[in-house]
Amino acid sequence: MSSETYDIVIIGGGTSGLVLANRLSEDPNLHVIVLESGEDRSGDLNTLTPSAWPLLSNSPANWTFHTAPQKDLGRQITVPQGKALGGSSAINSFLFTSTLGNAGWDYTAYEKALKKSFTLHKPFGVTEGKGPLQLTLATPESVWQKAWIDGLKSVGFPETDPLSGHLGGPNIAPESIDPKTKQRSYAANAYLDPVRSRPNLTIRTETTVTKVLLERPSSAGDAVAKGVQFTSKDGSSQTIGVRKEVIISAGAINSPRLLELSGIGGADLLQRLGINVVVDNPHVGENLQNHLFTGLVFEARDDVETIDAFFRQEPAAVAAAMQEYGTKGTGPLSTSNMITMAQLPLPEFHTEAGRKELDQLLGALDPDSDARRSPPTTPAFAAAHQTFVRSILTDPSEALGNYVFGSAYAPFDAPSPTYRAPGKHVSVAIELSHPLSRGSVHITSAAPEHASTNEGLSIDSRYFSHPLDLEVLARQVRFTEDIISRAEPLTRYLKPYTKRFTDLEVTKDYVRRTADGAYHYTGTCSMMPRAMGGVVDNRLRVYGCSNLRVCDASIVPLEPTANPQAVVYGVAELGASLIKEDIL
């Protein structure tokens, strides 16, 4: 073991890792090190400029994983994950929206932790909170924002507060943008920059951990983390020791990967790859969940402004946007352009006939398909998951789908993802908030050189492997087309439109062809009882280990309703509090 030793080793300098680094290094007696595979991109304008986030999808700041071919989609799906200080909070969009848990993780405790993370800047100079992350909440100012909110009101969905925890209508979502600088506020500049000079905090970038070094004092005792092995910038393999805790915060893809490389996972897989089994837990890497989405595009009237020209990168539109952002801090460069949204139920399942149809759909599922969906998932978890989703579907007060509205063409059904149609358009992205399909992430190689790349593992999201997901998302598409056709004053700004999706089978074909995965991966190191399928306990400790924890999106056992950025900050803040209680 190296003579270099720290009290706390944090693996991953992403959203959770930097929250933990800030909070745990508040104690000057704790020596904390963060090891991050990516670079420090805190000075990169593409990272900081709000509208530039799509440019990061194929940059060195992204791991750019890919799923295995998806049987029910007929193609592979890209899996974006942040590879930089700040993790996915450095490359994602900016939306901040907020039965199977564990003790201490009720909504009250979580909400208290979440509020420690942000300062919310409301219109007219009003602020709430004193947290490091800076959030900006705009008022609906554009013609399209007002039309979206008023239109949904007209069909029975009143405006809601996106941070209230009570959803069911349209809103303008807060963005993680600092209103003073007009730049991205994320884990690196919010949580790390103010404390970089602490003498007890060390940050190493371009450093990839390949293994947690575990020892088992006895055959019956828990394993103990003694340190970590990593590959440094110069390519050499090194180790450092740990006195108290190793915390894995590498995200929903890399956290289970590192556990398996360290000997924690299904024994059959590990033995096949020549890895010594330290803890046999086949649930590691299982329960992968993500939001699937598709969308609809409507032609706008020629006399109403959209941002299509900017999205097409027409020189005059880009120059005007740069001028407006540079002089006023406003315009399409100052935002993700994705803040006009809604959390809506699906009314057709709220009637007695609708609930009966839902029960028939669930009852008609092939029981043998469970093996194809997620073999190691316990029957108890599968049943609880399905019961939870059914309760959401049938409750008029619960949001079933997340809908994002924008005044430009989106290539849902385009020849390529980069295609931008001529003319003027509005688009509605339609997201399945509570998928029942569950996938997996598992290593395919024990070679340490793969740990810093997108190779050496298999990601199988198993999208639409649960038939109800396709059924519900298709109905959401049909529902969206119907409400848009009736939502005055929105409809007055659109060109005449003929409905395409009255037939459910036609709609399903469209969804299969156009569906894609969001950036919202969770669940692969789930926090729940081990017998139910858990990987970590309610203190975030990995089952079978005394001083190894996981703290990131992978511990969330059920996909949150919408964008999980807020959830990850809340998990990290609450996790930091629990760790402090245990080690100080």
Instruction: Quick: pLDDT tens for 31-50.
Output: 999 999 877 766 666 666 66
Q: According to the model, what pLDDT value does residue 91 have? A: 41
The residues with which 402 forms a beta bridge, in sequence order, are 343, 431
Q: According to the model, what pLDDT value does residue 381 have? A: 87
In order of 35, 277, 281, the CA distances from 456 in angstroms are: 20, 18, 20
Residue 140 is assigned to a ligand binding site? no
Q: According to the model, what pLDDT value does residue 51 have? A: 58
Q: According to the model, what pLDDT value does residue 361 have? A: 83
- Helix axis angle, 565-583 to 107-115, nearest 10°: 100
The one-letter code for the residue type at 480 is T
Q: Which two tokens mark 578?
A: 């629990």
Cα 21 versus chain centre, distance: 21
372 pLDDT higher than 50: no
The mean per-residue pLDDT over the stretch 421-447 comes to: 94
Q: Which residue has the higher pLDDT, 520 or 229?
A: 229
Residue 565 is assigned to a ligand binding site? yes
Q: According to the model, what pLDDT value does residue 241 have? A: 97
Query: Between the ranges 64-78, 445-459, 473-487, where is the mean pLDDT highest?
Result: 473-487
| pLDDT tens digits for range 97-134 | 544 456 678 778 888 888 899 999 988 788 888 999 99
> Mean pLDDT score of the chain, rounded to an integer?
86
Q: According to the model, what pLDDT value does residue 86 have? A: 60
**What is the maximum span of the chain, computed from C-alpha positions, in angstroms?**
76
Residue 179 is assigned to a ligand binding site? no
Strands of 439-502 (E only): list them.
Answer: 439-443, 457-460
The one-letter code for the residue type at 530 is R
Torsion region of 124: left, alpha or beta (phi above 0 gives left; psi -120 to 50 gives alpha)? left
303 pLDDT higher than 60: yes
Q: According to the model, what pLDDT value does residue 395 have? A: 86
Whose structure tokens read 């649930």?
Answer: 283
Residue pair 348/457 in contact (Cβ under 8 Å)? The answer is no
Three-class SS of 400-437: CEEEEEECCCCCCCCCCCCCCCCCCEEEEEEEECCCCC
140 pLDDT higher than 50: yes
For 103, list phi and psi in degrees, rounded to 5.
Answer: -60, 140
95 pLDDT higher than 90: no
Q: Which residue has the higher pLDDT, 518 or 210?
A: 210
Residue pair 348/354 in contact (Cβ under 8 Å)? The answer is yes
The mean per-residue pLDDT over the stretch 233-245 comes to: 93
Q: According to the model, what pLDDT value does residue 417 have? A: 85
214 pLDDT higher than 90: yes
Q: Which domains does the chain have, with CATH numbers?
A: 1-137+185-291+439-462+520-584 (3.50.50.60)
Burial of residue 215, with CB atoms counted within 10 A of its CB: 0-12 exposed, 13-18 middle, 19 or more buried: exposed
Three-class SS of 346-394: CHHHCCHHHHHHHHHHHHCCCCCHHHHHCCCCCHHHHHHHHHHHHHHHC
Q: How many residues does the chain have?
A: 584
| pLDDT tens digits for range 258-298 | 999 999 999 999 999 999 999 999 999 999 999 999 999 99
For 340, list phi and psi in degrees, rounded to 5.
Answer: -90, 115
Whose structure tokens read 């933990």?
Answer: 20
CA 435 to CA 498: how far, in whole Å?
Answer: 30
Q: According to the model, what pLDDT value does residue 94 have? A: 41
Would you say the C-alpha torsion 441, 442, 444, 449 has a positive or negative sign?
A: positive
| pLDDT tens digits for range 331-345 | 888 887 778 889 899
Q: According to the model, what pLDDT value does residue 57 have? A: 57
Residue pair 568/186 in contact (Cβ under 8 Å)? The answer is no
Nearest by Cα to 432 from 514, 374, 352: 514
The one-letter code for the residue type at 580 is K
Q: According to the model, what pLDDT value does residue 89 have? A: 53
The mean per-residue pLDDT over the stretch 569-573 comes to: 92
- Sequence-separated (6 or more) residues with CB below 8 Å from residue 508: 470, 471, 474
Cis peptide bond N-terminal to 448, omega within 30: no
Lowest mean pLDDT among 172-186, 204-218, 470-484, 568-582: 172-186
DSSP designation for 70? B
Instruction: Count the Cβ atoms, other than its own, within 10 Å of residue 530.
Output: 15
Residue 15 is assigned to a ligand binding site? yes
Would you say the C-alpha torsion 269, 271, 274, 275 has a positive or negative sign?
A: positive
Q: According to the model, what pLDDT value does residue 565 have? A: 80
* Percent of all residues in the chain with a pLDDT value above 70, rounded to a whole number: 86
The mean per-residue pLDDT over the stretch 244-254 comes to: 95
| pLDDT tens digits for range 141-177 | 789 999 999 999 999 998 887 666 566 789 888 888 8
Verdict on whether the full-model pTM lies above 0.95: no
Q: According to the model, what pLDDT value does residue 53 have? A: 46
Q: According to the model, what pLDDT value does residue 88 have? A: 56
Q: Which residue has the higher pLDDT, 166 or 184?
A: 184
Lowest mean pLDDT among 266-275, 373-382, 504-513, 561-570: 373-382
- Sequence-separated (6 or more) residues with CB below 8 Å from residue 206: 36, 37, 38, 39, 232, 233
Residue 239 is assigned to a ligand binding site? no
Q: Which two tokens mark 448?
A: 């340490």
Q: According to the model, what pLDDT value does residue 20 have? A: 97
